[in-house]
């Protein structure tokens, strides 16, 4: 990074010298992704966590962009009448089209697009941004599904998945997307989504923080010039992302889907790149906005300066496929389990098991029970020497993961069969609705831990 900044300073000075000597306009200054990262950290416009951004918040962001001079226009309405907007930057011949949040609960890229247009507008005199504006015209629709975003749900108010409506066009949001594409005929499209936090990169046991797809335009998944361009864009994205999240970038399955927008838009003549932002365990949401911003800013700069044309599509072809559901959100290892199953006078005796927990928002459920050696987890808890049970009912797969933990020294004094266990025998730690209480003290204090 130091070398790169040193190099960019050196290049800048060299160019200034050239200008002084020749008295000409400077050529664009090459930048490095770290420059974009630094700018975003200091100057990003988006201030609200993406999952909390609603249509009214987006409208406020867009008002600020309009005031700054960005071309923003209403291009349509959602089923409930919420305005859908398009932003535009640049006057160049190469037409680039991006859209975000066609799934209402997949919000990261909406904030990243706002920051991107803010960046370009406020740096329009910077030679590299000016050069980009000469080469590209960029249009972006942030939050294509504002009704879904309002409820933070995937589908629109007809309960239809807009991304499976490309053929029938029953949704007004889907019809709008098709019209914007058909009227303008862009040369490249970006379909921006979020993926499940449980997605893994191949069998690496590592979470896929970003996944890429050069969308197929036919059943045979053949390479026409458009798909090769999409692959080169993906190779460029992969290169810039590898600087921040090496080994945590996956490739999506490219089976052609005749109902999906990415696939049909590619077939209609605009090659599409799908970007799926994942979870990033232990990191705030805004880190994912920054990652999207840097990846898109850098890649569009490369598109304008010819770097994408020179990229090797084989880089994309070598990215490991991701594995959806490859990560378990939480594994509690080696606990002594009291599952509290009773049938008349029979009560299941305690046994040793690993517990796999699925966490979706505030809801946590038991995903698996038994030997989970070899399963990769986003978070692990070593519960050897600890006793665990559920607050109510029976500890079983599919059930609520409201877990009570007891140190082994107390285990013999506890009557596991009482219905009001938690009141009668206050636990040393709990895991409830995805949140821990007392986890740290438990791990430090237990003398039986091996």
Give the residue with the Cβ less far from Zn ion, 107 or 385. 107
Q: 35, 53, 87, 106: which one contacts Zn ion (CB under 5 A)?
A: 106
Binders of Zn ion in range 45-64 (CB under 5 A): none
Looking at the Cβ atoms of 77 and 164, the one nearer to Zn ion is 164
CB 128 within 8 A of CB 136: no
Choose between 181 and 193: whose C-beta lies nearer to Zn ion.
193
CB of residue 365 to Zn ion, shortest distance in Å:
22
Q: Quick one: tokens of 117?
A: 């247009």
Q: Which of 44, 82, 103, 229 binds Zn ion (CB under 5 A)?
A: 103
- In the numeric block, the tokens 């879904």 are attached to 148
Cα end-to-end span (Å), the chain? 42
Q: Which is nearer to Zn ion, 151 or 348 (CB)?
A: 151
The residue count for binding Zn ion (CB under 5 A) is: 3
Instruction: Give the nearest distance from C-beta 273 to Zn ion in angstroms.
Output: 14
- CA dist 123 and 111 (Å) reads 18
Q: Per residue in 362-397, is it b (16+ CB within 10 Å) or e — as a string?
A: eebebbbbeebeebbbbeebebebbbbbbbeeebee
* Cβ nearer to Zn ion, comparing 4 with 151: 151
Q: Could you tell me which stretch among 6-14, 21-29, 189-197, 240-248 binds Zn ion (CB under 5 A)?
A: 189-197
Report the nearest approach of Zn ion to the CB of residue 193 (Å). Answer: 3
Q: How far apart are CA 438 and CA 134, in angstroms?
A: 58
Q: Which stretch binds Zn ion (CB under 5 A): 56-64, 97-105, 318-326, 385-393?
A: 97-105
Cα distance between residue 395 and residue 368, in whole Å: 11
Q: Whole-angstrom Cα distance, residue 225 to residue 218?
A: 13
The span of 114-122, 142-150, 191-199, 353-361 binding Zn ion (CB under 5 A) equals 191-199
Q: Which stretch binds Zn ion (CB under 5 A): 60-68, 96-104, 229-237, 379-387?
A: 96-104
239 lines the binding site for Zn ion (CB under 5 A): no
Cα gap 190→184, rounded to integer Å: 15
Query: In this structure, what are the phi and psi dihedrals at residue 254, rounded to the nearest 5 degrees?
Result: -105, 25
Q: In the complex with Zn ion, which residue's Cβ is closer, 121 or 145? A: 145
Which of these, 130, 63, 127, lies nearest to 90 by C-alpha position?
130
Position of minimal CB gap to Zn ion: 193
The 10 Å CB-count burial string (b at 16+, else e) for 202-213 is bebebbbbbbbb
Q: Minimum distance between the CB of residue 84 and Zn ion, rounded to whole angstroms?
A: 17
Residue 443's CB is within 10 A of a number of other CB atoms, namely 14
The size of the chain, in residues, is 450
Judged by DSSP in three states, 446 sits in coil
Stretch that binds Zn ion, among 100-108, 120-128, 373-381, 425-433 (CB under 5 A): 100-108
Nearer to Zn ion, 193 or 251 (CB): 193
Give the binding range for Zn ion (CB under 5 A) out of 74-82, 95-103, 131-139, 442-450. Answer: 95-103
Nearest approach, Cβ of residue 163 and Zn ion (Å) = 6
193 near Zn ion (CB under 5 A): yes
Of 193 and 206, CB closest to Zn ion:
193
**Closest to Zn ion by CB, 255 or 423:** 255
354 to each of 120, 365, 369, 411, how far by Cα in Å? 51, 14, 6, 18
Contact between 118 and Zn ion by CB under 5 A: the answer reads no
Residue ranges that bind Zn ion, judged by CB under 5 A: 103, 106, 193
């Amino acid at each position: 990074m130091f070398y790169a900044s040193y190099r960019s300073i050196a290049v800048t000075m060299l160019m200034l010298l050239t200008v002084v000597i020749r008295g000409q306009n400077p050529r664009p200054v090459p930048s490095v992704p770290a420059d974009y990262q630094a700018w975003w950290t200091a100057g990003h416009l988006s201030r609200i966590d993406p999952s909390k951004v609603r249509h009214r918040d987006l409208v406020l962001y867009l008002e600020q962009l309009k005031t700054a001079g960005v071309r923003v226009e209403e291009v349509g309405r959602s089923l409930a009448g919420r305005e859908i907007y398009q932003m535009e930057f640049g006057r160049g011949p190469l037409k680039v089209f991006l859209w975000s949040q066609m799934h209402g609960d997949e919000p990261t890229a909406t904030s990243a697009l706002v920051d991107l247009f803010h960046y370009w507008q406020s740096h329009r005199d910077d030679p590299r941004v000016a050069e980009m504006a000469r080469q590209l015209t960029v249009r972006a629709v942030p939050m294509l599904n504002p009704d879904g975003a309002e409820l933070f749900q995937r589908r629109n108010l007809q309960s239809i998945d807009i991304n499976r409506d490309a053929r029938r066009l029953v949704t007004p949001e889907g019809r709008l997307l098709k019209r914007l594409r058909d009227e303008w005929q862009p040369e490249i499209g970006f379909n921006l989504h979020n993926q499940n936090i449980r997605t893994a990169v191949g069998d690496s046991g590592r979470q896929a923080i970003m996944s890429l797809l050069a969308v197929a335009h036919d059943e045979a998944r053949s390479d026409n010039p458009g798909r090769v361009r999409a692959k080169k864009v993906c190779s460029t994205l992969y290169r810039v992302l590898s600087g921040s999240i090496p080994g945590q970038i996956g490739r999506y399955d490219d089976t052609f889907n005749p109902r999906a927008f990415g696939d049909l838009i590619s077939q209609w003549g605009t090659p599409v790149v799908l970007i799926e932002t994942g979870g990033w365990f232990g990191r705030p949401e805004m880190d994912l906005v920054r990652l999207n911003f840097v990846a898109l800013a850098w890649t569009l700069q490369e598109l304008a300066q010819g770097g994408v044309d020179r990229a090797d599509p084989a880089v994309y072809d070598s990215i490991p496929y991701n594995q959806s559901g490859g990560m378990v959100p939480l594994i509690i290892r080696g606990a002594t389990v009291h599952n509290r199953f009773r049938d008349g006078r029979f009560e299941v005796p305690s046994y040793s098991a690993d517990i796999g927990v699925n966490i979706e928002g505030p809801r946590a459920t038991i995903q698996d029970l038994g030997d989970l050696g070899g399963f990769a987890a986003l978070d692990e808890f070593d519960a050897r020497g600890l006793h665990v049970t559920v607050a109510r009912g029976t500890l079983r797969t599919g059930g609520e993961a409201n877990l009570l933990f007891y140190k082994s020294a107390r285990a013999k004094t506890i009557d596991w069969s009482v219905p009001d266990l938690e009141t009668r025998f206050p636990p040393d730690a709990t895991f409830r609705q995805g949140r821990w209480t007392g986890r740290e003290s438990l791990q430090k204090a237990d003398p039986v831990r091996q």
